[in-house]
Amino acid sequence: MSDFKKHIVAFLLLPMVILLGSCNKKFKSDNYTAYFGGEVSNPTNPYVLFCRDNVAIDSVLLDENNRFFIKFDSLTPGLYTFKNDPEYQYVYFDKNDSIMVRVNAKDFDNSIVFCGRGDQKNNFLIELYLKNEADRNTIFDVFDYPLPKFISQIDASYKEKKNFYLQKKASIKWSNGFDLYAQSALNFAHFSKKELYPMAHKMRTGIDVIEELPKNYFSYRKNIDFNNAKLSNYEPFVTYLSYMLNNMGAINYHNHFTDVDLALKTNINKLKIADTLIKNEKVKNIILNNIAFTYLLEEQNMVNNQKFLDTYHQFSTDNSKKNEINEIGKAINNLNAQKQLPQVKLVDLDNKPFDYRTLCQSKTILFFWTKNLKSHYIAAHKKVIELKKLHPEYTFVAVNLDPDVTEWQNLVAKYNFKGIVEVQAHSFEEAKRNWAIMKVHRTIILDTNTIIKNAFTNLFDVDFEKEL
């Protein structure tokens, strides 16, 4: 029996009296009542959030059995997300759907199973998502292939998934509204590979294949509706646009510029292309915000940051996000070299306040991790153990970004890496606000007296040791 079928059998054992009653109910044409419920094993948060377009519509507390249930008197058909922070996944509702979900928060995506009215299309979406994730985990080797082999390989993969899509579409007979997302999940994963290949191939092999690309290599672009607001928060679409703009915004004569000036010109190009290409205000703002977040967290040249923000403000009309991006800009300015690192509340393994300023007599390196990227946690700690031998003058502090203290303590005890100061951020929001932490692959190097040497580096950068 496949793992998926095992999940289905186990799921059917859930108490479903309320839901099944609703599934058999006859609804009037003007009735948009819908139901959503289920069980979250090993929850990381006591609440399940039900959202649309990143805005919470409802928040429900898990009961003593980690179950939840929501009745909507009127729910507009469309794509929603359900979250047990920090994890989330999509769920699509047609009119009067009554959907139950079972999920294990320790293996969120792989454990999801839907049941009830509207379950089949959502189980398809999860299966396709997992197929795309499996592809993503092996794609870097495929980027090493010469162009003909690369195209052959990804076309074969696409054909297999398209056949899966067509079979499910015929058997389930889902709505046109759902088909927009089903097709997008299928196509944009494929298009993203094509966008990534020229850059990734050159980076991994040193060979530039741009001139070798067939004239019709990017022909699919002309068939994409860049202004479809229904896709504006759909991850496959937003990710694809990011890759596409990276290609379209690239500067060919890059040897004429320093790295920081090249990054500025490239990202301003991306802003301008997005403004020209995307006319829908909602979609445009989301893409402009993604470009801004990525640039501000990758490049920390203060003069260039301001030039970038000036251009961003010309095109963006999203005042709420502008404020957030301005806050990130301020945080980055406060993390300039030779400044003192702003304070963030930390706790030690005894759950007592830890003040990193007590380490002021030694040079310090802070690096970050989360249980959701366990491979990074292990690799980073092993890397630091090597660095400690070579640079004993530094104190190494591992900052965990998860909310659960007990789970963090248990994970540290399990691996028991020696000689590293283990602390946890009391509030991720504070760390995000004061240290501009938006991704886990960040390292902060401090001189004595907690003076910043470099607040935006990475343990795994090739030249990291030169920073020390």
- Would you say 198 and 209 are in contact if contact means Cβ atoms under 8 Å apart? yes
First to last CA, the chain: 54
Q: Quote the CA–CA distance of 370 and 362 in Å, as a whole number.
A: 26
Q: Residue-wise pLDDT tens for the chain (468 aa)?
A: 444 444 443 343 343 333 443 444 555 556 789 999 999 999 988 999 999 998 999 999 999 999 999 999 999 999 999 999 888 999 999 999 999 999 999 899 999 999 999 999 999 999 999 999 988 888 888 999 999 999 999 999 999 999 999 999 999 999 999 999 999 999 999 999 999 999 889 888 899 999 999 999 999 999 999 999 999 999 999 999 999 999 999 877 656 778 788 889 999 999 999 999 999 999 999 999 999 988 887 756 667 888 898 999 999 999 888 888 888 888 888 888 899 999 999 999 999 999 888 887 889 999 999 987 788 899 999 999 999 999 999 999 999 999 889 999 999 999 999 999 999 999 888 998 899 887 788 899 999 999 999 998 889 887 899 888
Quick one: pLDDT at residue 300? 60
Token pair listed for 289: 């915000």
pLDDT at residue 299, rounded to an integer:
58
pTM of the full structure: 0.74
How confident is the model over 90-104, as pLDDT tens digits?
Answer: 999 999 999 999 999
Whole-number pLDDT of residue 1: 40
Selection from 274, 275, 286 nearest residue 229 by Cα: 286
Q: Give the pLDDT score at 436.
A: 87
| Residue 51 parent element (H or E) | strand 47-52
- Note the pLDDT of residue 190: 97
pLDDT at residue 324, as a whole number: 82
Q: Any residues with CB less than 8 A from the CB of 199 and at least 6 apart, and which?
A: 246, 247, 250
How many whole angstroms separate alpha carbon 186 and alpha carbon 191?
Answer: 9
Q: Which residues 6+ apart lie within 8 Å of 3 measured at CB?
A: none
pLDDT tens string 228-284: 999 999 999 999 999 999 999 987 765 677 878 888 999 999 999 999 999 999 999
Q: What is the pLDDT of residue 377?
A: 92
